[in-house]
A and B are shown apart, each in its own frame.
Chain A
Amino acid sequence: MSALVASIYRGITYRGAEGQWAWILHRASGLGIVLFLYMHIVSIFIAAIGPEPYEWVHKYLYTSPPAKLLEIFLGFGVIYHALNGMRIIIIDFFPALGKYQRTIVRIELVILVIILIPYAIATLGSGF
């Protein structure tokens, strides 16, 4: 455990560049997606308890403003994780592109924003 804490401390105090932050965000978004999957399984399981609690969770809880915000975070996590994963695959198969990695990260962030904005508008605008 102390080794884990030490390695996290090193990660956040080392002044790395785009690659390091892209990697940290990749890990964080991956963890976030796994946590969402657990939450998803639990909320679906509520149907086994009865229709009323299921209705309440999906009609009222999930449409509340904090849940909407979390949903945008989820979209960010999934889109970022997918795009960054593609960046890693591209660099793994074409190592010579590594010298353009800073540009590639920036292009990735632009694509992320382009996809995320309509997603966020659609999420905030929809009832459910």
Chain B
Amino acid sequence: MRIQMRIRRFNPEADSKPWWGEYWVDVEESDRVLDALHQVKWYQDGTLTLRRSCAHGICGSDAMVINGRNALACKVLMQDVGDVCQVEPLRSMPLIKDLVVDMEPFFAKYRAVLPYLINDDLPAEGERYQSQEDRARYDDTTKCILCAACTTSCPSFWANEDYIGPAAIVQAHRFIFDNRDAAADLRLRVLNDVDGVWRCRTVFNCVQACPREIDVTRAIGEVKLALMNGLED
């Protein structure tokens, strides 16, 4: 099938503002948007710039706005995009070139929630035991691949780029509800900030955008409740 690709292009060295590049590609229904972008880059215009690495929905490099909605280019099939496929870079992130945005502000917020196990006590017998129930408590939020699809789909983030964003809250949730970790208070303090978890307006764009199908708003809600009522265990 022949499909028109409308790709938001921007070269900081040549363009004063972004513009739409239009390309025609022949693709199979089972091809992904990433394959169509490769066709453009490899056979039509080698200057098209995009990020991708594993191309199998795990590395989280190729999150972009596809037909008006955040998704991974390697997970959206061409049969689901219609006759015209419109691709833009993620919103509210500093644009570097074409589909590549500066992820550094996003990773700075990720680092702010201390996304690693903190526990100064030595494990009792060789390892820190965790029951299956305790592991299941935060299972959903272990799936995050830091693609930024959720954070850049969030209206609170569009309005205020200082908002810590759903991705960082999901990462914090992963450790706050891990019973082997001892630094939940530090993370909750960061999330209780004016630009922390309270900026969430339960719009659910993040849940819709997440390529890993994490129930992001639920994780944010659980952090809000933990701030109000304290941790149960």
Per DSSP, chain B at the interface is helix
Interface residue A95 (Cβ < 8 Å from any Cβ of B): yes
Least CB distance from B146 to A in Å reads: 21
Interface residues of B in 118-163 (CB under 8 A from A): 153, 155, 158-159
In this complex, the interface size class of chain B, counting residues with CB under 8 Å from chain A, is: 20 to 34
A91/B221 in contact, CB under 8 A: yes
- A-chain residues with CB within 8 Å of residue B92 when the two chains form the complex: 7, 10
User: Which chain A residues border B207 with CB–CB below 8 Å?
Assistant: 19, 98
Q: Which of A4, A13, A15, A99 has the most chain B CB within a 10 Å cutoff?
A: A15
Closest to A16 in B: B205
Interface residue A88 (Cβ < 8 Å from any Cβ of B): yes
Are A98 and B68 in contact, CB atoms less than 8 angstroms apart? no
Within 8 A of B (CB), among A33-88: 88
Number of interface residues of A (CB under 8 A): 25
Q: Do B217 and A91 touch (CB < 8 A)?
A: yes
Interface centre among B65, B217, B220, B224 (most CB of A within 10 A): B217
The answer to whether B218 and A95 have CB atoms under 8 Å apart is: yes
State in angstroms the CA–CA spacing of A23 and B153 once bound together: 14
Residues of A in contact with B (beta carbons under 8 Å apart): 3-4, 6-7, 10-11, 13-20, 23, 88, 91-96, 98-99, 101
Please provide the 5 A-B residue pairs with the shortest distance between their CB atoms, ordered closest to farther.
A95-B221, A19-B204, A15-B68, A7-B158, A95-B218
Q: List 15 A-B contacts (CB under 8 A).
A: A10-B91, A14-B65, A14-B68, A16-B208, A19-B208, A20-B204, A23-B155, A23-B201, A88-B201, A91-B217, A92-B224, A95-B219, A98-B204, A99-B218, A101-B204
